Structure 1
């Protein structure tokens, strides 16, 4: 029996060991799902603090309760920062970040570093799956050559697939198991093995012809959202200049039963996908002589929105005889979208930075983020402010950046001097300014 036949047998019998590399917002839910369906899971992460918490049955992601971690531990899940244990796993699934560098170009260092760390311990008969969003060709051009340099040939003595993550934190209707799984293989054998593995944990598989097609699928999904959000954000600016409520317009347009999909404007884009992924395609497209003007324009509009909000704050204060410099400003909501604790690429953080740069004294309140998290480009030594009547009233301006359901909006409007509402959440009032 060949190595790949043995791998197929282990996958089908659910005796295969799954290794998940990167235990963040994508990797940890996936690890818990594989453990839930009865597969042995080893979680790998370079953050020793995360590893210790998980092995102690604790969680560092709000929506994942300690009880879920403890249930997985009882089923054999364990976390480690020892990459030599790669040899124990039959499937190696990479779920690490793919950010942009300072020039807004792809940074694959997390992928490359992970692959380089596990390869010395890789063996024949393993399946390697990349889930990190990236440019079309990454699996073939970055991962496959490194496997071959170790004597591992996809489709012959190992398997290589790309299957993009599709997590939607905070969505109560679609968990890991419910979201259809796109997957492409380096060879038909690789694809078949990848499907056999994932179908244990995911209800619906969506096979495509190649890893490049799977990589492009993920980018299209997120670029679709980026372009449409860019459009509605630009419409918001135009409507504001004309004295029109863009949210009323969107709601009215959404009554059309065909040909229109409502998107909501906001203070900019956040999260690990939509602000970043379009630039992975624009960068790769240049290799083919294509200038992706439409995609880049949407990105520029969305990227500018925190500046637009900062300008609206300055106008709101000016109308009340105040300058930004020296004003006390409270940003409501630090997470990039409502009802979650994820602050990655959050426009709220950039708004805070812009206002502080203009001399304001900034603070924030977020029931999901009690302490300002460590970030690469921003440093605020802050705790979430309590929203009591007296505390609300002491700020010169409130900025609603993320419209968490936990906020008491009536309380905010009663006691705030002025609120700049970037989400269209608040009722019209004399102390409320749309932005």
Structure 2
């Protein structure tokens, strides 16, 4: 008998598997990607937060990866950690969740605990997952246990990981919640119990909607503060001195990653579909954040125009193309729409990123510069899109003809800041 099978071995499932292995649990990882499974079994990692050595350590602790779904039947607990991207209509694409749930249903045994971790809209566990599982003939809360526990992985965060980030858990029944709390309690320091699965589902959406709306607020402030001649970065620094009632958010060239650009849309879509009216805060925030690449391009054009240059034919170097600093993750990175807009204006684009050796964008590969300092000095405009710690931004700004800092990390007067 295996303690747990984790379905989906990406940025969520693999760190979860590592914590379970460290707690002494026997863990099997299931994934439909044969290359991922083969690499993990060979001790090779494909996510930023785990090194090859850590995967090898997991293997030594008994972790195995498989594409054989029949292995699910041997587990006491099955945790679904598959992606939920946006569908064409703006709601969550539950294709992977449904496929994983059907795989569990085909191997469901009496007494098994099934937990969904994939982010989705309130009601998914009860309205989508439960009926698929109960097609096996077993009943949730009677013959097997069912719960929802939203993933809270923050890739690249060295301070908070799966163990010390509190785990929210909502059960289909109180007994289901008891079992899920006990399961996570083996390797998570704090488990927070909700009234049910819908409350747990909504908690994750509230977290990211809160961030989404506040990022949109400072993004809009960045636009009018620039026009008013106000240094918004200095404003945020000053406001942050208040020890209560304020949390700092920062503007940028757009929002990226697996949560902020996507999760609030699940909620907005669900409100429209079920209640028939818009979630106006979310939709306005989405509009503001989605247009930040356009704003950055307009600012870039202004900087070039002031020097008597047009974007068409100018050499523009983009620094940092990942969605957050100091990791290789490019999911939903604002660098992509920014590059498309600049390319559409006829700019000669190149990029540098210490974590990305090849950047496939614009229907092909954008040239990567190898000699960073020479490229910075020669470009007509350098745009800092992501502020990796590896960059000495003030030095680079001093070397550049024109330097546009979209992250507010430069301190020299020669840099243009968002």
TM over 0.5: yes
CA gap of 1:294–1:128, structure 2 versus 1, over 3 A, is same
User: Partner residue of 1:420?
Assistant: 404
In structure 2, the partner of 1:61 is 47
CA root-mean-square deviation: 1.6
| Structure 1 position 172, deviation (Å) | 1.6
Which residue of the other structure, out of 294, 298, 306, is the alignment partner of 1:319? Answer: 306
Q: Is the 8 A contact 2:102 2:133 kept in 1?
A: no
Check conservation: 2:219, 2:252, Cα contact below 8 A: yes
Deviation at 1:264, TM superposition (A): 1.0
- Does 1:18 pair with 2:1? no
SS of residue paired to 1:203: coil
How big is each residue's C-alpha offset from its partner over 1:85-137, in whole Å with a ceiling of 9 and x where there is no partner?
21122211111111112332221112112222332222222111111111000
Specify the alignment match of 1:338 in structure 2. Answer: 325
Tell me, yes or no, if structure 1 residue 405 matches structure 2 residue 381: no
Contact 1:62–1:368 at 8 Å: present in 2 too?
Answer: no
CA-to-aligned-CA distance 1:166-192 (integer Å, 9 cap, x gap): 111222211110000000000111111
- Report if the CA contact (8 A) 1:333-1:366 is conserved: yes
Greater mean deviation of Cα atoms: 386-395 or 271-280: 386-395
Residue of structure 2 equivalent to 1:307: 294
Which of 176, 201, 206 matches 1:215? 201
Cα distance change of structure 1 residues 137 and 304 upon mapping to structure 2, 3 Å threshold: same
- Tell me the equivalent position of 2:417: 434
Which of residues 329, 335, 348 is equivalent to 1:348? 335
Instruction: Indicate the residue corresponding to 1:241 in structure 2.
Output: 227
Query: Quick one: distance in 2 between partners of 1:163 and 1:384?
Result: 40
Whether the 8 Å contact between 2:117 and 2:148 is mirrored in structure 1 is: yes
The match for 1:138 is: 124
SS at match of 1:85: helix
Per-residue deviation, 1:48:
1.4
Deviation at 1:26, TM superposition (A): 0.9
CA distance in 1 between partners of 2:169 and 2:347 (Å) = 48
1:185 paired residue among 165, 171, 189: 171
Q: Deviations along 1:336-385, whole A, 9 cap, x unmatched?
A: 11111111111112211211122222222111222226x8xx64424643
Match of 1:292 in 2: 279
Instruction: Please point out which of 369, 372, 375 is paired with 2:356.
Output: 369
Where in structure 2 are the equivalents of 1:36-185 lying within 5 Å? Answer: 36-185=22-171
CA deviation map 1:167-222 (0-9, x unaligned) = 11222211110000000000111111111111111010101110000000000000
Contact 2:43–2:55 (CA under 8 A) maintained in structure 1: yes
- State the partner residue of 1:232: 218
Distance in 1 between the 2:344 and 2:382 partners? Answer: 17
- Give, in whole Å, the separation in 2 of the partners of 1:154 and 1:117: 16
CA shift for structure 1 position 75: 0.7
383 and 129 in structure 1: CA distance in 2 versus 1, 3 angstrom threshold: farther
Are the aligned partners of 1:367 and 1:384 in contact in 2 as well (CA < 8 Å)? no
In the superposition, the TM-score normalised over structure 1's length comes to 0.92
Aligned to 1:204: 190
Mapped to 2, the partners of 1:47 and 1:362 lie a distance apart of: 34
- Please state if 1:256 is matched with 2:239: no
Contact 1:161 1:190 in 2 (8 A): yes
In 1, Cα distance between equivalents of 2:314 and 2:329: 28
Q: Which runs of 5+ in 1 are unaligned?
A: 1-14
Q: Cα distance, 1:387 vs. partner?
A: 4.5
Deviation per CA, 1:210-257: give whole Å up to 9, x if none: 000000000000001011111111111110111111000111111122
| Structure 1 SS opposite 2:359 | coil
Q: In 1, are the aligned partners of 2:150 and 2:200 still within 8 Å (CA)?
A: yes
Deviations 1:287-339 (A, max 9, x none): 12342111211111111111111111111112122221222221111111111
Give SS of 1:280's match: helix
* Structure 2 counterpart SS, 1:92: strand
* Residues 329 and 362 in structure 1, CA contact (< 8 A), matched pair in contact too: yes
What is the CA distance between 1:391 and its match in structure 2? 2.1
C-alpha contact 1:370 1:383 (8 A) present in aligned 2: no
Is the CA contact 2:90–2:269 (under 8 Å) kept in the aligned structure 1?
A: no
